[in-house]
Amino acid sequence: MKTFKDFKIQSLGRKLGVLGLTVLLATSCGSDNESSDDSSSSTSSSTLSSNDSSFSSSWESLKSSYTCSYGRASDRYYYSASNTNSLTEGSMSGTSIDKWFGVNFDTGDVLAVQKVSNGSSVYYNVVLSTCIISSSYGGSTLYALDDSDSLTNLSLPSYYVMNDSYSANCNHGFISNAYLTFISSNAASYGRRQFSTDYNCY
């Protein structure tokens, strides 16, 4: 599968390189609190829905519009403060100001950003739904971006959003361009996803 080429381990040398990278990441990021734990998914989901009563139905509609060959991983929830790019696992309660949806047309991954105010602070809740990647290698099947894959070092360094003027009946805006980066534990590799808008209402 084309999107899995970057994740394939093709030789013993590559395996050793991956092992070295994994050890390096464990050493440099051992105190990082950004490990992914899907046990918080239900809580995070209810938090975003409490912030915006229409969020859950819109999000489920977006996901169902894009099928995944090997299924979808459970939703992953993160948040960032208004002045940071790094994403922390979890979600923030508050008053919903706006929300935007985006999709990666190559992979079927989808992304939502919910802007909330909490007192004098502004936060961005980020929800990621990835399509599971599968590939055969050495007589076994390798998977990435599934529920067993822990994503760390997540960052959303920049994204551009548009309001719903392109479709006046939408209750959300659009992500016109976003680049999400991460480290995949199953692949021990750097990952990057670009998200764009499909101009549909959800």
Range list of β-strands (E), the chain: 76-81, 88-89, 95-103, 110-118, 121-129, 133-137, 140-144, 151-155, 159-162, 173-184, 189-195
Residue pair 151/87 in contact (Cβ under 8 Å)? The answer is: no
pLDDT for residue 168: 62
* Rounded average pLDDT over 78-95: 91
The two most distant CA atoms of the chain are separated, in Å, by 56
Digit-coded pLDDT (tens) for 112-137 = 999 999 999 999 999 999 999 888 77
pTM confidence score? 0.76
In angstroms, rounded to a whole number, what is the distance separating the alpha carbons of residues 64 and 31?
36
How much is the pLDDT for 142? 83
* Radius of gyration of the chain, Cα coordinates, nearest whole angstrom: 17
Give 8-63 pLDDT, tens digit per residue.
Answer: 333 333 333 333 323 222 222 332 333 333 334 567 889 999 999 999 999 999 99
Strand partners, 174: 101, 162
Q: How many percent of the chain have pLDDT more than 90?
A: 51
